[in-house]
Amino acid sequence: MAAHDTNKVDTVTGMSTTGHEWDGIQELNTPLPRWWLWLFYICIVWGIGYVIAYPAWPLVSSYTKGVLGYASRDQIETDMASLKVQRGDMVAKMESASLADIEKDPKMLEVARALGKAAFGTNCGPCHGQGAQGGPSYPNLNDDQWIWGGSLDQIYQTIQYGIRNENPESRQGPMPAFGKDGIIPKADIPIVAAYVVTLSGRKPEGNVDLAKGQKLFAENCASCHGDAGKGNPEVGAPNLTSNIWLYGGDEKTIIETVTNGRGGVMPVWAGRLEPATIKALAVYVHTLGGGQ
């Protein structure tokens, strides 16, 4: 900085310069309008007002609340309340309608499926998977095999009261631990397991006395799974003749199941979810594809 002549004029542009010069480069004088400066001051005043009006400063264990008392949590609650009001008519309609009627009415079906999908993702997805695809020991709800029945009413009952829990209304009836409790001698378990494999049209490994297996099955298993192994939804005994296995259909897993028993549980949802939500869930699960 050498020259400080404030009246210096740039010859090319004809504009006055600020008088500042760096290695021969001069700065043209292009001042901002004063109102721009005022905008800056207005922003500062606005900022101070904002800090007073709204939550702003973090304190050690809380924060300054602001004189307007605004909280984003309140806003969510307001939004949720207005959503509830918006859904009110449809929810009331669904509460009074029968499950079959909900499925027959295109508009109610659409709402029930949307509502059910959201509720499923939050409440059911952790075990059954977001797409109800299930997994080992958690049933796939898309297929057409139902342990406790796949009609609308059976699904509704299962969702309301769950499976093998303390609620007296819940589905009861575990698979006993035939091996561990000594009901079937340990040596016979592979024989009955081999017979179970043949029920679904497959060949067991090794050479086993299938006649003995059939006898063992009739004595121990048929009371729940049926003589032909077709299962019984009343007691939650799965169909053993199909391609679908909850815990695995290979011989080794079947031996394990017969030895130790099975007793998957599901919680009670009645009382935890709104009645209309449970209905929507039943319709959603029923319309995934496997409903009966």
Rule CB under 8 A: which residues touch another protein?
A: 1-2, 4, 6, 14, 18-19, 29, 31-37, 103-104, 106, 109-110, 113, 129-131, 133, 140, 142-145, 239, 242-244, 287-290
Selection from 172, 209, 181, 215 nearest residue 194 by Cα: 209
Residue with Cβ nearer another protein (7 or 207): 7
Identity of the residue, 28 or 56, whose beta carbon is nearer to another protein in the bound complex: 28
Closest CA relative to residue 123, chosen from 222, 291, 50, 115: 115
The two three-digit tokens of residue 40, written as one number: 């800056």
In the bound state with another protein, the residue whose beta carbon lies nearer, of 113 and 171, is 113
Q: Least distance from C-beta 93 to another protein, angstroms?
A: 16
Note every long-range contact of 115-121, with CB atoms under 8 Å and residues 24 or more positions apart, other chains counting.
115/87, 115/276, 115/277, 115/280, 115/284, 116/277, 116/280, 116/281, 116/282, 116/283, 116/284, 116/285, 117/284, 119/273, 119/277, 119/280, 119/281, 119/284, 120/281, 120/284, 120/285
Asked whether the CA dihedral 6, 12, 15, 21 is positive or negative, the reply is negative
**Comparing C-alpha atoms, which of 261, 244, 275, 79 is closest to residue 183?**
261
Alpha helices in 97-209 (DSSP H): 99-104, 106-119, 125-128, 152-161, 189-199
Beta bridge partners of 266: 163
Give the nearer residue to another protein in terms of CB position, either 29 or 167. 29
Residue 177 CB, nearest approach to another protein (Å):
27
Q: Which residue has the tokens 């490994």?
A: 205
In the bound state with another protein, the residue whose beta carbon lies nearer, of 39 and 76, is 39
Nearer to another protein, 215 or 230 (CB): 230
